[in-house]
């Protein structure tokens, strides 16, 4: 797509890293979010969450595009990136189970919002396959490499929709 062909961003975008940085590869979501934040894109808000998506689901309709990055236990090679268009249809079964009991997990929040008609116009999920979710472990090298691919994919997604200009520096 040429620059001229790219439309001005239609409102605000939200990037959310989901995960617990103290649980090994589960920290990939916040890791990606932090790196996307460094790009300082105008009109793009970046958040991290440990997993209570219900609060997020109550605000995401305010954004034209929402991108969520989360670790996934897909059983595939660690670091593998999967892109899902959650606004387009029910999430595949392997991303449905929630590790949360009292909090509401990503898949439940997405399906609840779909049922209530409160999904944002575009909701993209990048799932990064993890392998080691042990307490206190760092993100594994394979998943760290996957995080870099996820950052590039998120930035490309944003750019394709018109969010690519940097915010002016803060004095």
Partner 1 sequence: MSTKTIKVDVLARVEGEGRLFLRVKDGRVAAARLEIFESPRFFEAFLRGRRFTEAPDITARICGICPVAYQMSSVQAMEAALGVEVDEPLRQLRRLLFLGEWLESHGLHIFFLHAPDFLGYQDGLALARDYPEQVKLGLRLKKAGNSLVALLGGREIHPVNVRVGGFYRTPRRSELAALEDELAWAREASVAAVRFVAGFDFPDFEEDYDFVSLRHPHEYPILQGQLASSGGLTAPVADFDKHFQEVHLPHSHALHCRKTDGGLYFVGPLARYSLNYDRLAPLAREAAQAAGLGPVCRNPFRSIVVRAVEMVQAADEALAIIRDYRRPERPAVPVTPGPGEGHGITEAPRGILYHRYRLDQAGLITEAHIVPPTSQNQGSIEADLAGFAQGHLELPEADLTWRLEQMIRNYDPCISCATHFLKLTVERE
Nearer to partner 1, 6 or 87 (CB): 87
Number of H helices and E strands in the chain, helices first, is 4, 5
Please identify which residue in 2, 101, 136, 169 interacts with partner 1, judged by CB under 8 A. Answer: 101
- Say whether residue 118 binds partner 1 (CB under 8 A): yes
Nearer to partner 1, 66 or 154 (CB): 66
Please identify which residue in 111, 131, 138, 162 interacts with partner 1, judged by CB under 8 A. Answer: 111
Residues 35-94 that bind partner 1 (CB under 8 A): 50, 52, 54-55, 57-59
Minimal distance, residue 47 CB to partner 1, in Å: 10
Residue 37 has a CB neighbour count (10 Å cut-off) of 16
- Judge contact between 40 and 144, C-beta under 8 A: no
Minimal distance, residue 112 CB to partner 1, in Å: 5
- Say whether residue 108 binds partner 1 (CB under 8 A): yes
Can you state the angle between helices 28-37 and 141-160, rounded to 10 degrees?
50
Nearer to partner 1, 54 or 144 (CB): 54
Q: How far is CA 42 from the centre of its chain?
A: 18
Size (the chain), residues: 171
Minimal distance, residue 102 CB to partner 1, in Å: 3
Render 6-60 in DSSP notation, one character per residue. SPPP-S-EEEEEES-TTSGGGGHHHHHHHHHHTT-BTTEEEEEESS-HHHHHTTG
Nearer to partner 1, 116 or 160 (CB): 116
Minimal distance, residue 5 CB to partner 1, in Å: 38
Q: SS3 of 159, please?
A: helix
Contacts with partner 1, residue ranges (CB under 8 A): 50, 52, 54-55, 57-59, 101-104, 108, 111-112, 115-118
């Amino acid at each position: 797509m040429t620059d001229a062909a790219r439309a001005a961003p239609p409102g605000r975008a939200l990037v959310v890293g989901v995960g617990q940085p103290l649980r090994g590869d589960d920290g990939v979501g916040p890791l990606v979010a932090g790196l996307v934040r460094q790009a300082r894109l105008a009109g793009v808000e970046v958040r991290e969450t440990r997993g209570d998506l219900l609060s997020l689901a109550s605000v995401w309709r305010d954004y034209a595009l929402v991108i969520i990055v989360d670790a996934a236990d897909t059983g595939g090679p660690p670091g593998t990136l999967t892109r899902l268009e959650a606004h387009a249809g029910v999430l595949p079964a392997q991303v449905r189970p929630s590790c949360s009991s009292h909090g509401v997990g990503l898949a439940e929040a997405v399906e609840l919002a779909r049922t209530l008609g409160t999904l944002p116009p575009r909701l993209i999920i990048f799932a990064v396959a993890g392998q080691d979710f042990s307490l206190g472990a760092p993100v594994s090298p394979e998943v760290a490499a996957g995080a870099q691919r996820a950052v590039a994919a998120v930035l490309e997604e944003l750019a394709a929709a018109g969010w690519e200009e940097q915010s002016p520096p803060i004095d």
